[in-house]
Structure 1
Amino acid sequence: MTACHMTRLLNMAASGIPQWNDRAETLHRRLEGLREADRDDPLLLKASATLQSLKDTCSKDTQNCNRLPCLRLYSQAILDITYYEENRLVDEEFANDDSLQKVRELIQIITEPETLFEESNASKQHFHLDMDVEECLHWRRGALLYMYCHTIGERENWNLSDQRTFHQCLKDGVYYLLKMLKTRSPIQLNNEVSFQDINTATLLAKGIFSDVHVLALMYCGEMCFWALSYCSDIPPGSDSETHNKILNFKEVGEKVLDTYVSVCEGPLNGHGWSTENAKKILEFLRMR
């Protein structure tokens, strides 16, 4: 998807007219470019079917084609297509010179359903972003930036050639992971809510709804550690404040890793989650 295509799509969103067929066609062109090299990949086949469903839904219900089914199908197609591209970048270990550009492009594409949702609220249309989809959008952006930073850091033995860009990637990655972890509200345990399994109750009360939530805690803590360890020359607030908030890596890192250790040594004890690295990072953070 070129910058021109993306600008055109965002302009459509700003006008309050999603024009789903045009969006589906833009995604279809990207999909076909990928399928030239991998015709039978299951993710791409699934995305193709989803895009066809989007076109069929709009053709059958032109008056209500701005509503939930179209946004859900469009979001799913984006998630499938970009997941295929993410896997390819990870398999290639972000080796090409344009890998960071591709990471940024994928993040921009994955952000579009969220942008549509925000625009729909402004124009008082009846859009809703499914909680599962919203959570996945945040996770995928945060995890992609985590994998990029981990791979580049290891390759350069953490002697980073571009500290400022690396620092910004870490900030953005932590931001998305925190949004993912806050998408669902923790279950408030009281006399009206009962659980037969106390471990499940404890996890839900801490806002842990899946293994991915546990992994997000550790990813987030590691990224905070990398920022403080290898980007110490970058003062707070000096780089682009994409999300209009200065991030306290020490505070965030301690909070997420405290939660990680407590759930892994508590309700998830014996389920294969190691806390050794988390405890080492916590010791480092508390000494700063």
Structure 2
Amino acid sequence: MAASSSLQWNDRAEMLQRRLEGLRESGSNDPLLLKASTTLHSMKETCSKDAQNWDTLPCLRLYSQAILDMTYYEENRLVDEEFLENDSLQKVRELIQIISEPESLTEEGHSCGQRLVLDVDILECLHWRRGALFYMYCHTVGEREGWTLQDQRTFHQCLRDGVYYLLKMLKTRSPIQLNEATFQDINTATLLAKGIFSDVHVLALMYCGEMCFWALSYCSDVAAGSDCDAHNKILNFREVGEKVLDTYVSVCEGPLSGQGWNTDNAKRMLEYLRSR
């Protein structure tokens, strides 16, 4: 499903439809697949209204939503199967590529002078889903192997990519600076000022911190800087881990105090990272 400006929206919808039919061969009436089917139908109707205006924002929005629904179904199935199949990592990477398609389209559109902009909520979700999928894969495989990893380099790369997407998710929206004159709830103002807009943002902080901890704890044989992530940047796991876990602890023991967020594990990992 490589991005290409020459591929029309209806063609993209047909590609997703074929994938959807493959998922439903077992007779599944899963709500996510039913929702994806409805979204694809809406996409076809919307895009057929003006065949020449194939880069309309409504088409991009519906296309992205259909991808999110379908891939979430596939992700849940992989998690339920605990990534036991030999090709599980290959399936994870395939899903990552599909989930990346809407973002790739916008980037390619910009280079061609086309105005393709993803809604903030959708872009944030695309980042979150990719980061969370890598997190679930690493967590499940790591626990199953007792963290005695057979292929540290591959595992290390999954951690790098997962942290990359979670950081992008956390940076999708800019922090909002509020004062007492415009916002009376000091707890909410504190969260927004730290860029925390939902419980998912809090969870992303913890996931990101855990992945940094795993990288330093269980992939020590992978030399620092010996492999770059898919985006050709050197990632400082210790620095990133400290920052996100410190933010997690401060918000959970501050404005979110008493709301069920546990900080014991985060503090333990912070102590480890600071000692390195």
TMscore range, shorter length: over 0.9
Residue 75 of structure 1 aligns with an amino acid whose one-letter code is: S
- The Cα shift of 1:194 comes to 1.5
Percent same amino acid among aligned pairs?
78
- The Cα shift of 1:64 comes to 2.4
The partner residue of 2:262 within 265, 268, 274 is 274
d(CA) in 1 for partners of 2:183, 2:220: 45
- 1:124-151 alpha-carbon deviations (Å, 9 max, x no partner): 1121111001000000000000000000
- 1:201-240 alpha-carbon deviations (Å, 9 max, x no partner): 0000000000000000000000000000000111122124
Partner of 2:174: 185
Partner of 2:88: 99
1:29 and 2:18 are equivalent in the alignment: yes
Where does structure 2 lack aligned partners over 5 or more consecutive residues? none
- The Cα shift of 1:189 comes to 2.5
d(CA) in 2 for partners of 1:203, 1:249: 24
The partner residue of 1:285 within 269, 273, 276 is 273
Partner of 1:265: 253
d(CA) in 1 for partners of 2:29, 2:184: 45
Count of aligned pairs between the two proteins:
276
d(CA) in 1 for partners of 2:7, 2:187: 44
The partner residue of 2:227 within 220, 239, 252 is 239
d(CA) in 1 for partners of 2:49, 2:165: 36
1:139 and 2:119 are equivalent in the alignment: no
Partner of 2:72: 83
d(CA) in 1 for partners of 2:104, 2:170: 19
- The Cα shift of 1:195 comes to 1.1
d(CA) in 1 for partners of 2:73, 2:125: 15
Contact 2:56 2:116 in 1 (8 A): yes
Residue 120 of structure 2 aligns with an amino acid whose one-letter code is: M
Structural RMSD (CA):
1.1
Mapping of residues 1-288 of structure 1, within 5 Å? 6=1, 9-10=2-3, 13=4, 16-190=5-179, 194-288=182-276
d(CA) in 2 for partners of 1:234, 1:164: 6
- 1:149-205 alpha-carbon deviations (Å, 9 max, x no partner): 0000000000000000000000000000000000000002347x6112110000000
Contact 1:57 1:65 in 2 (8 A): no
d(CA) in 2 for partners of 1:275, 1:266: 11
- The Cα shift of 1:121 comes to 0.5
- 1:70-106 alpha-carbon deviations (Å, 9 max, x no partner): 0000000000000000000000000000000000000
Contact 1:257 1:282 in 2 (8 A): yes
- The Cα shift of 1:61 comes to 1.9
User: How high is the TM-score relative to the length of structure 1?
Assistant: 0.94
